[in-house]
Amino acid sequence: MLFCIVVTSIFFNIFLVDFITCDGIFYLQRVPSSCVQTTVTTTQDNTTTTDCFIFSWQQITNLATNYTTYQDPTTNQTFYAQIAALTVLGTIDNRDLNYHCPPSGYNGVAPGCATQNNTHLVVLHINALDNKLYSINVILSGTPFPSPSSLVDNQPPFGTARHVFYGGIPTQSTDYLKICKRNSTTQCPNNDISAHALANPFPSNTGYGIFGIKRYDFVTNSVWIMDDVNQILICTAGTKYYYFNASGFFLYDYTSNTCIWSSACNYQCEVYNYNSRFLDYAGEWVITKKWGVGDMKPVAAQAWIGNAIDAAGIFPVILYIDNATGHYIGLDKIDEIPASNMGASYWYTAHDDTITGESVLKYHPNVVDVGCVSRLRDWSGPINDGEMVMTSKNSRLILWTAFFLYFFVT
């Protein structure tokens, strides 16, 4: 079956226009009745017409950032997962898919989200071999933002919409990509939502790896150590250290040597919001390359796409869970405003199960080392190691051991 037709027209021997026509489908993953067949063309005209979305190829080329290269294990095709905020005009079935920031404080969202009109936040899947665009996930913002307590796993308004282009569309650097509804259909992949539940909370794991921002060509260390039994988490990005407990978090900034307490987001807000109210399953990806990571062995992961809400605010993400262990192993994030090479990425090359009551406490620098509190217990609360609650005597011993390790071993 032929999916793409190239039409070359010559008008008065002056204009040479290439129209590329493809078939595709479009649907909201959480709305079975949203499935439509689409006709995809490349055009020089960006005038909106009924039931069409118009993307700018120039923006796709200039703004999309690629942190992840993956192989689809069902086809063995390799794709770049490009993330971007793009200006997209038009609607299909009166859905505009424009991203809107939630009101500050919504479900614990920190202030700072800003976006622009007609902005779609997307993940573009570009084939590494033929350089064609095969699909797009659009991350929905959750507008009109119903009460967080009424949100249901895998039900609207959050989640993703998806464009699939059969045969792929050759990418180009100018003109517009126009995707129009042709017909309603029931041919969209049946997303067996319940078969792919995102563990909530994640199993507790430790992760050591990198945090990178492509725009600044910046790569630094990152650590994730989560202890769900004790409701404590350490998460770092370079010189910024976040120490979460059940009531809030300390943010220690090494550069300014300051430690700030905030109760705006606690352990639960940071960890439990990575869930199926906000994220849709995107498939099994074998990650073959990550930007900022040197030689890497392919890693089989489950990918999730949607919104993350945590101490840093709300941001759209691709989130990765290790296929073999269920460990959280990283995320790629998108900025809400169109700009080139934006976004950032966390990737944990080494990860393991957390030892309850031990992994977090052994990490340095801890809240005492950096001067946030004078005793670790002031932050951790009574520590449950899974068998016993630690006495102040042995926690002091651990503190001293930790102190010596920090100053004499590191």
Residues that bind ligand NAG (CB under 6 A): 46, 56, 66, 69, 73, 75-76, 80, 87, 89, 116-117, 126, 183, 245-247, 261, 284, 286, 289, 291, 300, 323, 373, 378-379, 381
Burial grade of 330 (CB within 10 A; 0-12, 13-18, 19 or more): buried
AA letter at 316: P
Phi/psi at 362 (5° precision): -80, -10
Shortest gap between Cβ of 265 and ligand NAG (angstroms)?
Answer: 13
Would residue 378 be called left, alpha or beta, if left means φ above 0 and alpha means ψ between -120 and 50 degrees? alpha
Is the separation of the CB atoms in 243 and 378 below 8 Å? no
Shortest gap between Cβ of 180 and ligand NAG (angstroms)?
Answer: 12
What is the CA 263 to chain-centroid distance, rounded?
Answer: 24
Q: Distance between CA 371 and CA 254 in Å, rounded?
A: 11
Shortest gap between Cβ of 381 and ligand NAG (angstroms)?
Answer: 3
Nearer to ligand NAG, 162 or 214 (CB): 214
Nearer to ligand NAG, 156 or 381 (CB): 381
Q: Distance between CA 39 and CA 179 in Å, rounded?
A: 6
Nearer to ligand NAG, 13 or 173 (CB): 173
Nearer to ligand NAG, 82 or 159 (CB): 82
Nearer to ligand NAG, 152 or 296 (CB): 296
Shortest gap between Cβ of 151 and ligand NAG (angstroms)?
Answer: 26
**Run of H or E residues at 379:** helix 376-380
Shortest gap between Cβ of 30 and ligand NAG (angstroms)?
Answer: 22
Nearer to ligand NAG, 95 or 155 (CB): 95
Shortest gap between Cβ of 283 and ligand NAG (angstroms)?
Answer: 10
Which tokens belong to 383? Answer: 């520590």
Q: What is the DSSP string of 139-192?
A: E---TT---GGG--TT-TTSSEEEEEEEEEEE--SSSEEEEEEEEE-S-S----
Shortest gap between Cβ of 274 and ligand NAG (angstroms)?
Answer: 20
Nearer to ligand NAG, 104 or 378 (CB): 378
CA diameter of the chain:
90
Shortest gap between Cβ of 408 and ligand NAG (angstroms)?
Answer: 27
Nearer to ligand NAG, 56 or 141 (CB): 56
Residue nearest to ligand NAG according to CB distances in the complex: 381
321: β partners:
302, 328
- Separation of first and last alpha carbons in the chain: 62
